[in-house]
Structure 1
Amino acid sequence: MEDHLPEPLRAVEHEVTALLRRGRVLSWEIAREVHPDLEPNAYGLLLWLRRCDSVRLTDLAARLGVGKGTLSRQITGLEALGLVRRDPDPTDRRAWRLSLTEEGQRRFDAARASRLGSLRRTLRSWPTRDVEEFGRLLRRFNDALD
């Protein structure tokens, strides 16, 4: 059946697979930079918290496409590491707002700076136009997946 796939589609599959494999390794490395006990999938969660500044657990669970129970367990682990805090939602007494602690923000920003430095080194020989196009196409691909 694979022989019937168009060559460009096979090439995209191969490259996406390679990117995901590298991404898993990178996630482990970056998570360890944030905190030695941090699970690798938590980096993406921290990234969303950094972007949102403060967000309700239900809203974050919907955005990430995970169950509230799963996310709550992850948040509890991040709280135990001192990276995330829950504050009462002033508009709804039953809800909590999640945000990074100062330590969580500091550690995340340092790990992110390292990650961006690595990307900068990888792409430094690319023309700016190519980097912009690459970002645009990745966004288009990710948006199509959502």
Structure 2
Amino acid sequence: MDEHAETLRAVEHELTALLRRGRAVSWEVAREVHPNLEPNAYGLLLWLRRSDRIRLTDLAARLGIGKGTLSRQIRALETLGLVSRTPDPSDRRASQLSLTEEGQRRFDAARAARLEHIRRVLETWPAADVAEFARLLGRFNDAWP
């Protein structure tokens, strides 16, 4: 058997395990942010926290999802009081999305718990390995279409 093919199978296996665990953690973290929050909304909140303010079209492009789908998810977050829309100063027809103060508070608390879990998992790793792991994950994510 081709060694490269076997290595790719190993990568696929590990990614599958990581994604399975990630989905389980996403449910837990979403519930920490708000009991009625859908698990996939954590990623939206993460991007909004990083961006401060962002247009829906720009966020949809970054996440690779349709504007209609994203708009429905954002409306749900608005209903929960976690996200707000404000007019875009450069184009009054558009709006910018941002976390509300409550959304920031809840997200930051849930994120701190998630980061603590990651810290515990990686605490026995040498710092250079953790840095290399982060670099390689970033490279992989950047290459993903």
Structure 1's consecutive aligned runs of 4 or more residues displaced over 4 angstroms after TM superposition are none
TM-score, normalised with respect to structure 2: 0.96
CA distance in 2 between partners of 1:116 and 1:101 (Å): 22
Task: Name 1:31's counterpart in structure 2.
Answer: 30
Shift of 1:9: 1.2
Task: Name 2:56's counterpart in structure 1.
Answer: 57
Higher alpha-carbon deviation: 92-101 or 4-13: 4-13
CA distance in 2 between partners of 1:17 and 1:65 (Å): 20
Task: Name 2:90's counterpart in structure 1.
Answer: 91
CA distance in 1 between partners of 2:55 and 2:139 (Å): 27
Please tell me the root mean square deviation across aligned C-alpha atoms, in Å: 1.1
> How many percent identity over aligned positions?
75
Gaps of 5+ in 2: none
Task: Name 1:20's counterpart in structure 2.
Answer: 19
CA distance in 2 between partners of 1:42 and 1:115 (Å): 15
Where do residues 124-143 of structure 1 align in structure 2 (5 Å cutoff)? Answer: 124-143=123-142
Task: Name 2:99's counterpart in structure 1.
Answer: 100
CA distance in 1 between partners of 2:91 and 2:135 (Å): 38
Shift of 1:96: 0.4
Shift of 1:91: 1.1
Shift of 1:133: 0.6
Instruction: Summarize deviations over 1:3-54 as a string: whole Å, max 9, x none.
Output: 6672211111110100010010011000000000000000000000000000
CA distance in 2 between partners of 1:69 and 1:10 (Å): 35
Task: Name 2:120's counterpart in structure 1.
Answer: 121
Instruction: Summarize deviations over 1:81-131 as a string: whole Å, max 9, x none.
Output: 000000011111110000000000000000000000000000000000110
Instruction: Summarize deviations over 1:52-103 as a string: whole Å, max 9, x none.
Output: 0000111111111111111111110000000000001111111000000000
Task: Name 2:111's counterpart in structure 1.
Answer: 112
CA distance in 1 between partners of 2:62 and 2:133 (Å): 24
TM-score, normalised with respect to structure 1: 0.95
CA distance in 2 between partners of 1:71 and 1:96 (Å): 14
Q: Counterpart amino acid of 1:89?
A: D
Matched residue SS, 1:134: helix
Matched residue SS, 1:6: helix
Task: Name 1:144's counterpart in structure 2.
Answer: 143
CA distance in 2 between partners of 1:143 and 1:20 (Å): 17
